[in-house]
Each structure stands twice: as structure tokens, then as C-alpha cells.
């Protein structure tokens, strides 16, 4: 009995000591925790949650289902010619024409009665256009109008009760927002990929000097065949038309670009109302503001668009804009660079009024600007150049350029009574320059010929390789 008491006493002492040690450290931890809470309450730190986004916020099924039904496959038939070697010795003769059908891209139905938006480069060289709907029906499409400057074209098919996409507001898109790209890459119909908006108002230099580039950049996978397809937000609204990829291989490597829906909507509206795009101009020479220009001109900002010169009778001149002003916003939309300025101006037509904020020295001034056309009027312009010339043009095809060993040109595909027929130009002639200025698109030919007054010299080459020069007074 005594021996068991001897063992019992040390055990009790051990338990008591353990309890005392635990009490001490618990009180210490509570004190440290209280101190930490006090510091957090006093210090402005960001606290992030480890809880992820709810699954329903990442559900793209509705947007995908709506988009797939409204995206079509665009196929074109192109004609190409062959020339005889005897033409080099005995002069020009009529070439032999052949045709082939190519699956070239995608399109987006924007109305139940069959209007379809696609890229100009998808259909610009076509002699016949066919679209295949998601339900496998085929229709011949008519080209309503096209605009190389924005790379947008409008098609029409004879059909009713079609599924279509509604336009969203591309100005509301945020960098980091989820989007879907829907199209027909590599002839794989109804393909949907997802990504985020990587940047806005991108200028990547894929067009000519007349091009308007203010692309939405996305990392949604886009490949050849996606051109003309839909870029949609998670609500299933059309926010862009997929147009280009940045790649050294021709396939997707992480960068894709779409024309913003606000530009597309304006262009399409003009096509339907006027048959061509109505351009609004400020009448200014501009420079991109950066650190170097800000230092050189002693500007108080490193962002915006610098007014280098103001044209007489132009919109800017009449509104009171001066050389040295910096454009900061249009109708409340911030303007940080030239692509953003182009994007905003492309949404208006001559005669419309905009509110512009300009920085003059250190003072921000708000001005009302009535936009004008290239002729410095507010009239709607209907191009009569094609009728006066008596010709229809199309951008020369790559195979023609390669065969003739030229880098660019515009082909005369049809002649009616007019100036070009009168001076002896024949169908098939590829115009390479006008008054020594290179021309790469049909629009450039029409714009240049509408602006030149006096003697006009046209240089080019026929399909047989024979070079020719023509001249007339405009």
C-alpha cells in the first residue's frame, strides 16, 4: 500500500505541472492573437479570400449555345486566269479563266431575315459566296457592301426566322473579362474557345494606311477559318468580329484580335442605309503622346493625342481646337492613344456632334465639335467615283501577285462606259500605282482618284506580264 502511494504522488505532480504550462502558453497565444488583430485593424492591408468564384459565374454554356446557332461557315468561289507565253511575243490576248471553291472563313447572323457580318478579307476576292448554317443548310449569299478600312463586309441570304446575335457594347468590355470565340477554324464547323480580354484599342499594322485599327486583343484560341466569326461575352452578346492573329506560323500562338462591335454596328448600319460607310473626320494632323513628346512639347501628360496641325474649314478648326492641344476624351470616353481616337470617331457620321475634352497647357477645356466629311461638309457622301471611272475593282489575289512577281495591286474586273475604258484600259489590268503612289486595295484606288485634281497617271500590269501606263485629266 505504501509503495503504490509513492507512485501516485509523482503522477499527480506531473499532471499539475503540465496544466500550468498549457495555461501559460494559451494565455500567451491569446495575447499574441489580440496584438495581431490590433495591428490588422490599424494597418491598411489587402485580405484575399481563398474561396473561388462560384461555378455558375464561369458557365459559358448559354453563350456558346446561342452563338453556335448564329455563326455560319463562309465558302467562296474564285476565278483565276492563265496567260500564254506567246502573249509576250505577239501582244495581249484574252486569258483563259478557271474557278475553284474555297472554305475561307466564318460569318455571324445579325438579323432573322438573313443579314450576315463577316470580314472583308474573307470575301473580297470572291466571284461567288456560299454560306452553310449550323443546321447544315446552304445558301447563296449576296455581298451587300464591304469596307477594307475596318475589314468588315455585309452579306445577305434569302431566308427568314434565323437565329441571330444581338450587338453588345464593346466600350463596356473590361480587360480580364471572359469572352468566347466562335467560328470554323481549319474547316472544323461550330468551334467554341474561351479566353479573356487581354487588351483593348490595339493597332497591329495588318492593314493599309487607310485602315482603322483598334482591335480587342484576346487569348481565346483563333486560327485560320475563324476570320469573320463571333467574339461574344458570357451573356451571349456580340462584342467583336474575329479578324486576325499575331503569329509567325499562321496558326494561333496566344494572340487574337477582333474588330469591336461598336465599330461593326456603325459600319453595318451605314451599309444598309447608304450603301457605303460614312466617315467622320476632325480635320487635324496628330501625334501619339508619349514620354519623349511630353518632354519635347512641355506637356503635363504622357497620354492622349497631340494636335500637330488644324486644317482650314475642318471640324476641329471651327470648334476652336488649336495646334498643341491634347485630346483626352470624346463623349466621356477616355482617349489615351490614336487607335482609341480612331475607334471613337468611327462610330459617328458627318453632321453629328461630339463633346471633346482637350488639355491646353494645364487647363482641361470642353468643346462641342460638329463632325464633317472629307469635303469639309456635313453632307452624306455617296461615292460617284466608280460610276465616273466606269470600272469595278478588287484587290489582286496572292496567286496573281506571285505569278506576276509584284507585291501588291488592284485588279480591274469589269468596265462600263467611263474614263478608264476611254483611255484604253482592258479588264484584268492590275493597277500598281496612281501618280507614283502605291495602291493595295480597291478602296485606295477610289479614294485617290476622288482626291486628285488634274493629270492622273496610272501604272500597272496585264495578266500576260505586259506593263502599261495610262493618263487622263481628272
Class of domain 59-275: mainly beta
Strand pairing partners for 231? 181, 240
Selected residue with higher pLDDT from 81 and 142: 142
> What pLDDT does residue 124 have?
79
| Per-residue pLDDT at 423 exceeds 80 | yes
The reported pTM is: 0.70
> Is there a catalytic annotation at residue 368?
no
Selected residue with higher pLDDT from 242 and 43: 242
Q: Give percent of the chain with pLDDT exceeding 70.
A: 79
| Domain residue limits, the chain | 59-275, 284-370, 385-473
CA dihedral 394, 399, 402, 406 (to 10 degrees): 0
CA distance 462 to 474: 23
Q: How far is CA 28 from the centre of its chain?
A: 63
Q: Is residue 299 a contact partner of residue 289, using CB atoms and an 8 Å limit?
A: yes
> Is there a catalytic annotation at residue 291?
no
| Per-residue pLDDT at 303 exceeds 50 | yes
Q: What is the pLDDT of residues 149-173, one digit of tens each?
A: 899 999 999 999 999 999 999 999 9
> What pLDDT does residue 207 have?
60
Selected residue with higher pLDDT from 399 and 200: 200
Among 25-34, 204-213, 232-241, 256-265, whose mean pLDDT is lowest? 25-34
Q: What is the pLDDT of residues 181-212, one digit of tens each?
A: 999 988 788 899 999 999 999 888 766 555 78
Cell match 497631340: residue?
306
> Is there a catalytic annotation at residue 151?
yes
CA distance 323 to 25: 74
**What's the chain's average pLDDT?**
82
- Given 67, 106, 121, 146, the catalytic residue: 121
Q: What CATH superfamily is the domain 284-370? A: PDZ domain (2.30.42.10)
Among 265-274, 298-307, 383-392, whose mean pLDDT is lowest? 383-392
> What pLDDT does residue 46 have?
40
Print burial letters for 263-279: b (CB count within 10 Å at least 16), e (below 16): bbbbbbebbeeeebbbb
Angle 117-122-128 from CA coordinates, rounded to 5°: 90
- Given 126, 149, 227, 346, the catalytic residue: 227
Give Dmax over CA atoms of the chain in angstroms: 136
> What pLDDT does residue 459 have?
94
| Per-residue pLDDT at 47 exceeds 50 | no
| Per-residue pLDDT at 88 exceeds 50 | no
CA distance 16 to 134: 80
CA distance 345 to 263: 9
Do 59-275 and 385-473 show the same overall fold? no
- Given 106, 146, 151, 357, the catalytic residue: 151
**Mean pLDDT, to the nearest integer, of 72-100?**
60
- Pick from 254, 243, 128, 106: which is nearest to 188 by CA? 106
Architecture field, domain 385-473: Roll (2.30)
> What pLDDT does residue 10 have?
54
Among 184-198, 359-373, 376-390, 455-469, whose mean pLDDT is lowest? 376-390
In this structure, the chain runs to a length of 474
> What pLDDT does residue 324 have?
96
Q: What is the pLDDT of residues 231-256, one digit of tens each?
A: 999 999 999 999 988 776 767 777 89
Amino acid at each position: 500500500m505504501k509503495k503504490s502511494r509513492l507512485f501516485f504522488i509523482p503522477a499527480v505532480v506531473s499532471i499539475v505541472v503540465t496544466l500550468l504550462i498549457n495555461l501559460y502558453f494559451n494565455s500567451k497565444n491569446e495575447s499574441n492573437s489580440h496584438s495581431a488583430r490590433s495591428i490588422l485593424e490599424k494597418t491598411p492591408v489587402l485580405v484575399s479570400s481563398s474561396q473561388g468564384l462560384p461555378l455558375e459565374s464561369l458557365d459559358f454554356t448559354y453563350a456558346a449555345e446561342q452563338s453556335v446557332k448564329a455563326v455560319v461557315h463562309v465558302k467562296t468561289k474564285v476565278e483565276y486566269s492563265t496567260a500564254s507565253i506567246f502573249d509576250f511575243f505577239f501582244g495581249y490576248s484574252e486569258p483563259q479563266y478557271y474557278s475553284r471553291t474555297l472554305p475561307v472563313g466564318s460569318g455571324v447572323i445579325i438579323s432573322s431575315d438573313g443579314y450576315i457580318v463577316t470580314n472583308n478579307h474573307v470575301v473580297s476576292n470572291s466571284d461567288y459566296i456560299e454560306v452553310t448554317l449550323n443546321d447544315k443548310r446552304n445558301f447563296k449569299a449576296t455581298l451587300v457592301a464591304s469596307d477594307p478600312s475596318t475589314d468588315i463586309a455585309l452579306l445577305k441570304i434569302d431566308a427568314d426566322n434565323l437565329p441571330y446575335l444581338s450587338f453588345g457594347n464593346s466600350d463596356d468590355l473590361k480587360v480580364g473579362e471572359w469572352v468566347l470565340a466562335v467560328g470554323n477554324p481549319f474547316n472544323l464547323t461550330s468551334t467554341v474557345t474561351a479566353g479573356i480580354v487581354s487588351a483593348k484599342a490595339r493597332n497591329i499594322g495588318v492593314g493599309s494606311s487607310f485602315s482603322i485599327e483598334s482591335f480587342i486583343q484576346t487569348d481565346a484560341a483563333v486560327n485560320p477559318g475563324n476570320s469573320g466569326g463571333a467574339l461574344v461575352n458570357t451573356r451571349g452578346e456580340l462584342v467583336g468580329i474575329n479578324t486576325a492573329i499575331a503569329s509567325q506560323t499562321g496558326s494561333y500562338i496566344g494572340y487574337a484580335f477582333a474588330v469591336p462591335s461598336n465599330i461593326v454596328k456603325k459600319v453595318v448600319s451605314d451599309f444598309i442605309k447608304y450603301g457605303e460607310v460614312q466617315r467622320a473626320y476632325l480635320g487635324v494632323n496628330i501625334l501619339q503622346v508619349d514620354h519623349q513628346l511630353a518632354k519635347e512639347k512641355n506637356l503635363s501628360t504622357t497620354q492622349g493625342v497631340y494636335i500637330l496641325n488644324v486644317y482650314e474649314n475642318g471640324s476641329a478648326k471651327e470648334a476652336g481646337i488649336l495646334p498643341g492641344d491634347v485630346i483626352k476624351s470624346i463623349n466621356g470616353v477616355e482617349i489615351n492613344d490614336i487607335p482609341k481616337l480612331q475607334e471613337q470617331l468611327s462610330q459617328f457620321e458627318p453632321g453629328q456632334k461630339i463633346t471633346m475634352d482637350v488639355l491646353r497647357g494645364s487647363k482641361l477645356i470642353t468643346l462641342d465639335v460638329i463632325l464633317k466629311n472629307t469635303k469639309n461638309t456635313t453632307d452624306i457622301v455617296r461615292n460617284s467615283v466608280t460610276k465616273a471611272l466606269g470600272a469595278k475593282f478588287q484587290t489582286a489575289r496572292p496567286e496573281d501577285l506571285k505569278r506576276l512577281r509584284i507585291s501588291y495591286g488592284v485588279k480591274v474586273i469589269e468596265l462600263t462606259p467611263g474614263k478608264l475604258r476611254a483611255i484604253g484600259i482592258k479588264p484584268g489590268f492590275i493597277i500598281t500605282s496612281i501618280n507614283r503612289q502605291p495602291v493595295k486595295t480597291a478602296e485606295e484606288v477610289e479614294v485617290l482618284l476622288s482626291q486628285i485634281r488634274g493629270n492622273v497617271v496610272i501604272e500597272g500590269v496585264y495578266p500576260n506580264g505586259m506593263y502599261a501606263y495610262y493618263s487622263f485629266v481628272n
